Copies of this chain bind each other. A is one copy, B any other.
């Protein structure tokens, strides 16, 4: 499996056994992520923005309004950023308070923004992004018109400095605590899609598409 190089910034120093540098693992977490957190610094103060994103190959894409202050700042100043995606997959209930934990999968990327001016790349990224959020959606919707494309800014981030951190499995207690009469185990957590709710003003006769059933 192809690996990311371990750098000063991406090396997992706390509980290093949980560090994962395999590209397939990093990409699978990114591709499942519903949003990322983009962090960058301005005069020593860190800011963060939660935002949708998608990945194509070794690039991560964000889009936003050309009127967005932070999109413009990123495009113009190209600050070094950190981009994170985290899933909490379960509560790990140990016998001791101290060994309580969570099962999780997280990725952090270090990169810099590049404004995308290529129309094909913009179109492709919006298609991939839309279908990531809802598979099958892009082909079904009214595509952007020229004014909407002009109002949309796309930023790309090369993914070449990245790592994941993953915990799975049950609790690990101190040897003597296994004899205690305390329940221990995992409460799995899952992001669930609930049944779609039609718009109040949905045109009469428009059926729920197959990809939403």
Judged by a CB distance under 8 angstroms, whether A28 is at the interface is: no
Copies of this protein, total: 2
A211 → B minimal CB distance (Å): 10
- Which of B88, B97, B207, B209 lies in contact with A34, CB distance below 8 A? B88
Chain B residue contacts of A106, Cβ below 8 A = 50
Judged by a CB distance under 8 angstroms, whether A212 is at the interface is: yes
A37, A68, A91, A200: most-surrounded residue (chain B CB, <10 A): A37
Asked if residues A41 and B45 are in contact (CB atoms below 8 Å), the reply is yes
Judged by a CB distance under 8 angstroms, whether A108 is at the interface is: yes
A interface residues, tally (CB under 8 Å) = 91
Asked if residues A140 and B182 are in contact (CB atoms below 8 Å), the reply is yes
Some 19 contacts from A to B, beta carbons below 8 A apart, are A14-B64, A34-B102, A35-B104, A41-B45, A44-B79, A44-B80, A46-B79, A46-B80, A50-B106, A52-B102, A97-B142, A97-B148, A100-B141, A171-B199, A180-B203, A181-B206, A185-B196, A189-B192, A192-B192
Residues of A within 8 A of B (CB): 9, 13-14, 34-35, 37, 39-41, 44-48, 50, 52, 64-65, 67-70, 79-82, 84, 86, 88, 91, 93-98, 100, 102, 104, 106, 108, 110, 126, 130, 133-134, 137-138, 140-144, 148, 151-152, 170-171, 177-203, 205-209, 212
